[in-house]
Structure 1
Amino acid sequence: MRCAPDAVARVLATAVPEPVTVDRLEPLTGGASADIWSVDATDGAGTAHALILRRGASRGDISFGIDPRLEPLVQRAAAGAAVPTADVLATFADDDALGTGYLMRRLPGETIPRKLFRDPAYAVALAALTGDCATALARVHEVPLDALPALPQLPAYEQLTFLESLHRSIGQPVPTFELGFAWLRERIPPPAPLRLVHGDFRTGNFLVDERGLVAVLDWELAHLGDPAEDIGWLCTRAWRFGGAGEVGGFGSRADFYAAYQRASGLPVDHDRVRFWEVFGSLKWGIICQLQAFAHLRGERPSVERAAIGRRVTEAELDLLLLTL
């Protein structure tokens, strides 16, 4: 969908002095769930604004995300609870020219894991990232529920049922996934007190500069649930990107758990985290499978989807290592 400068200027003018001039509008690489643009603009008072425009895109064959109208509301609530994240400046919904999304401040930093892990310029940041991310996650889980919009409540059994239905819809059973479903069904943890769950708290969604964590990105999978889900997802091997640390490729479990407990005052239940780590590996494997079949069936032909499909076997190995 085209992004018109005059439409962006019109939306921004609801938050800054008019008239607004859009000086630069450039598409950025985004995921399947969002269309992302870098925006430079000047308001009527002569103030320059460096912004990111994020709007909902077709979610295709994976329907995990919340209504895009809710994303900026969650992000604002998180910022109000001292979670490091970009300030939301303006929102728009069902706009004829732009669709639904929001404008937020553009912050400096890097998200690409291979750059963070390989560039010596980020050595100090990597050393600080365990504590930074643990503190940020503790703050996510402390966001007052009454500050949030109406988010879905997603207990473990409901997510497992949904994930299984997605896998069955493909029509090609994977024996290792069947083992994973059986293992998880036998170990569903008792309900935990509801807290805000980011839903995709992982390396790749962290904006990092040379000193450490700048912002937590991508709130489209936010929901209410078990906070251990976020920890298990961060520990899932797929999000280590070749890094040595069991937590996001950069940290140790012991250090992260200790830092999270200090910041949150909540104990880390290792069994709960293991359940969600197994769940995360299975979820990622099924996402890879969905991507592959969207390509193979001609629904959304894409070399990238085909390549992601080959990673099903990685998820299978992770499941076996975690459960056997």
Structure 2
Amino acid sequence: MTKGNEQMELQMELEMDGEKGNRLLLVDGMALLFRAFFANSYGGSVRRTSTGVPVNAIYGFVKYFMDAVQRFQPTHVVCCWDMGSQTFRTTQFEGYKANRPSAPEDLVPQFDLVKEVVESFGVPNVGIVGYEADDCIGTLAKRHRDDAHVFVLSGDHDLLQLVDDRITVVIMKKGQGNYAIYTPEFLLEERQLTPQQVICVKGLMGDTSDNYPGVRGIGEKTAHKLIQEFGSVDGVLSNLDSLSKTIRAKIEADLDMLHLSRELACIHCEVPVELDFSASSWAVNRAQVVSKFEELEFRSLMALIS
């Protein structure tokens, strides 16, 4: 961990200690679940109940989830989920995320079961067909930033575009309890970018994970340099004459894809999510959670809710 990151984490802890207002934790459920699955399937060995139900991802999910709750001390919690592979982005670009492999067989039955676990904590599960979890997170973060300081928990760096003075993005790093905590100041310190410029960089360089190309031949280093110099994609396009012939030719050849990639990278923050803020209050019914843990044979996790 860098010195700057250590200082930022310390600053965040001090701010939270002195903060008497609400704190809303928005959890990227699928990001946690996939991370937990692969972290808890050593050598192909998958934790199962005595009846053979795979629960390794849920087990790890609970550990990640509770670590974040203990660390950030939320007053309100919501868990957001993807609702299938077809979204408005696949309508815009057929190849969007088309390179993603199918979910591992042992993970599939855990998709619905993990939501039952989340419900046992009294935490709302939110997902809207046609949108991604990122869009639900962005919508709720913007909607409730005046009701609470918002903490977004994920491993997805696309969410850094949401950062502002009331929205902090917490990126999970390797190892449980290891986080990079992004405020506008730390994002600028680490990447020399503003939240809006995160979108512009992705528009230029594309995203191999989400399978959209950006401008062919422009990688992260060049995209970052262009945005730092000209401020935005629009700034780059307004200064094409000052670019090298090679870079200009690449941009002009892929102009339509540049605009589309920038649009695909942008989190939609006006999703029709229906959620009463008070319904997300963190108030655990221990007996309810214990019952679900007993069903899944999570005896070793009982101490997390004592």
By the TM > 0.5 criterion, same fold?
no
TM-score by length of structure 2 reads 0.24
More strand by share: 1
TM-score (norm 1): 0.23
More helix by share: 2
Greater relative CO, 1 or 2 (CA 8 Å, sep 6+): 2
